[in-house]
Amino acid sequence: MAVRKFKPVTPGQRNKVISAFDDITCKTPYKPLLEPVKKSGGRNNQGKMTIRYIGGGHKRMYRIIDFRRTKDDCKATVLTIEYDPNRSARIALVQYEDGEKRYIIAPNGLKVGQVIASGSGVAPEVGNALPLSEIPLGTLIHNIELRPGQGAAMARSAGTYAQLAAREGNYAIVRLPSGETRMVLVTCRATVGTVSNPDHNLESHGKAGRRRWLGRRPRNRGVVMNPVDHPMGGGEGRASGGHPRSRKGMPAKGYKTRNPKSTSNKFIIERRKK
């Protein structure tokens, strides 16, 4: 995994840093596992804009990812490592012994030809998915379920991982990428290893056009708006705008927005670090 920096031949290349894509082994996706993606442009079913700064972007096809990894007692061979425009991590096309092919989130270090498996009794090796009750303490994991059979919900983006810290009764204590420590049922599954493309955080678009290719339109700051448009707008000259807050008045820094009656509070041992 590496990134490419460019000579500033044009202004857009001066600060451009992109992935080298040296881990990609296939340029064309597997067609039976593709679905069209419909863009909303930030509009709801009435055509009204409900989310600002969304629109345009390159047309994409969605890759159907197997987040559950429930095909047990059947080993799979890695066929390709591919780019996925819908996520920051790489994906891997695997073929099971019965001939079925599926996409999975590629762990860091996964190679073409490597054999992986899932289910109870599987060795805790990179790429294998197994219950938290059978993973050794201290192991780095990703693609963690919150409920058994739900499918991976945590630690799925590029370069992220969680650590299995302890086990107490029916629960495992997992330290998440945000710094939060929480309890997860030991019957939930996780994949051993870290997510691929760890250098994703070093990338820089370099120009506004690359943001537009991703479907992101220019974003206006609240302080440059009028008072009728934003709580931080108005004032003579370059006024600071007062306390940072959203367009609807919600404070942006230091204000706790989590519901104190949330049912998942009892599973959280330590909140994420600010």
Do 48 and 116 fall within a single domain? yes
| Residue 34 Rama label (left phi>0; alpha psi -120 to 50; beta) | beta
Do 246 and 113 fall within a single domain? no
In a domain, 217, yes or no: no
Domain at 251, CATH number: 4.10.950.10
In a domain, 107, yes or no: yes
Per-residue model confidence (pLDDT) at position 198: 96
Q: Name the residue range of residue 244's domain.
A: 224-265
Residues 148, 156: Cα–Cα separation, whole Å: 17
Q: Predicted confidence band at 273 (pLDDT cuts at 50, 70, 90)?
A: confident
**Residue 109 reports pLDDT greater than 70:** yes
In a domain, 270, yes or no: no
In a domain, 212, yes or no: no
pTM given for the model: 0.92
SS3 label, residue 164: strand
Q: Predicted confidence band at 34 (pLDDT cuts at 50, 70, 90)?
A: very high
In a domain, 88, yes or no: yes
Do 247 and 161 fall within a single domain? no
For 46, counting Cβ atoms within 10 Å of its Cβ (0-12 exposed, 13-18 middle, 19+ buried), the class is exposed
SS3 label, residue 72: coil
Do 8 and 41 fall within a single domain? yes
Q: Which helix (H) or strand (E) holds 208?
A: helix 208-213
Query: Which tokens sit at 198?
Result: 């760890």
Per-residue model confidence (pLDDT) at position 207: 95
In a domain, 96, yes or no: yes
Do 254 and 132 fall within a single domain? no
Q: Predicted confidence band at 183 (pLDDT cuts at 50, 70, 90)?
A: very high
Residues 6 or more apart whose Cβ sits within 8 Å of residue 258: none
CA angle 14, 15, 16 (to 5 degrees): 100
Residues 27, 83: Cα–Cα separation, whole Å: 8
Per-residue model confidence (pLDDT) at position 1: 61
Per-residue model confidence (pLDDT) at position 241: 87
For the chain, the distance separating the N- and C-terminal CA atoms, rounded to the nearest angstrom, is 29
Do 76 and 173 fall within a single domain? yes
Looking up tokens 């700051």 gives: 221
Mean of the pLDDT values across residues 29-53?
Answer: 96
Do 38 and 115 fall within a single domain? yes
Do 104 and 168 fall within a single domain? yes
Do 97 and 150 fall within a single domain? yes
Mean of the pLDDT values across residues 68-84?
Answer: 96
pLDDT in tens, 137-159: 999 999 999 999 999 999 999 99
Do 236 and 188 fall within a single domain? no
Number of domains in the chain: 2
pLDDT in tens, 200-247: 999 999 999 999 999 999 999 999 999 999 999 999 998 888 899 999
Do 64 and 185 fall within a single domain? yes
Is the Cα dihedral 201, 206, 208, 212 positive or negative? negative
Residues 6 or more apart whose Cβ sits within 8 Å of residue 186: 131, 132, 133, 167, 170, 171, 172
Contact 182, 115 (CB under 8 A): no
In a domain, 40, yes or no: yes
Residues 87, 220: Cα–Cα separation, whole Å: 25
Do 82 and 178 fall within a single domain? yes
